[in-house]
């Protein structure tokens, strides 16, 4: 095969793997959103640490690390497909955290927001016929089911415990045993 023909074939193949601009934009927005989620969890950890719930703070910091891993997973997908990774502005919304219930309620609300963002990406991947990105998105859809379930269960336990100090300390110790991200 002539080198010129090879280069043309290689360029055409690479263009076939290129992500549609609309999908690239929503994936890049999700990279930013995952990094923002990491900052949200870090901020929640600081609030819990201030309230002397060190175990819950440890859980939140592990969650923050997991969110950074999610951002990297999407970024690597973009790069592997010949796209650019462009981070948007990162900012953490103001939060009022007076109790562990407040912290985990904010966590659940944030996970629900991320779930909706992932569903938008799924719709765009379907609309553009990008099966390779859809595989990635399916993993994230499953992950969000797990995330919402986990945080929802913790929130339910907190509501059952109420103001019982012994129960709160037990749950704090239990959540503090989480060692890091990638528990999937």
Q: How does DSSP assign the chain, residue by residue?
A: --HHHHHHHHHHHHHHHPPPHHHHHHHHHHHHHHHHHHHHHHHHHHHHHHTT-HHHHHHHHHHHHHHHHHHHHHHHHHHHTT---------------SSHHHHHHHHHHHHHHHHHHHHHHHHHHHHHT-HHHHHHHHHHHHHHHHHHHHHHHHHHHHHHHTT-HHHHHHHHHHHHT---S---
CA 81 – CA 132 distance, rounded (Å)? 9
Q: Is 144 marked as a binding-site residue?
A: yes
Residue 70 labelled as part of a binding site: yes
Residue 67, annotated ligand binder?
Answer: yes
4 pLDDT band, cuts 50/70/90, is low
Report whether 77 belongs to an annotated binding site: no
Residue with more model confidence, 178 or 8: 178
User: Could you report the per-residue pLDDT of 108-154, keeping only the tens digit for each?
Assistant: 999 999 999 999 999 999 999 999 999 999 999 999 999 999 999 99
17-177 carries CATH number 1.20.1260.10: yes
Is residue 143 part of an annotated ligand binding site? Answer: no
* Residue-range domain boundaries for the chain: 17-177
pTM of structure: 0.86
């Amino acid at each position: 095969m002539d080198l010129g023909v090879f280069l043309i074939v290689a360029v055409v193949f690479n263009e076939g793997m290129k992500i549609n601009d609309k999908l690239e934009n929503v994936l890049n927005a999700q990279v930013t959103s995952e990094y923002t989620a990491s900052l949200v969890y870090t901020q929640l950890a600081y609030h819990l640490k201030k309230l002397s719930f060190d175990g819950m703070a440890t859980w939140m910091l592990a969650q923050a690390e997991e969110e950074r891993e999610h951002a990297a997973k999407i970024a690597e997908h973009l790069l592997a497909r010949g796209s650019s990774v462009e981070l948007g502005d990162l900012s953490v919304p103001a939060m009022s955290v007076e109790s562990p219930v407040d912290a985990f309620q904010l966590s659940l609300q944030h996970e629900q927001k991320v779930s909706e963002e992932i569903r938008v990406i799924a719709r765009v991947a379907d609309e553009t016929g990008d099966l390779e990105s859809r595989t990635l998105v399916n993993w994230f859809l499953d992950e969000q089911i797990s995330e919402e379930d986990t945080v929802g269960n913790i929130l339910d336990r907190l509501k059952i415990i109420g103001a019982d100090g012994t129960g709160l300390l037990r749950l704090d110790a239990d959540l503090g045993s989480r060692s890091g991200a990638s528990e999937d």
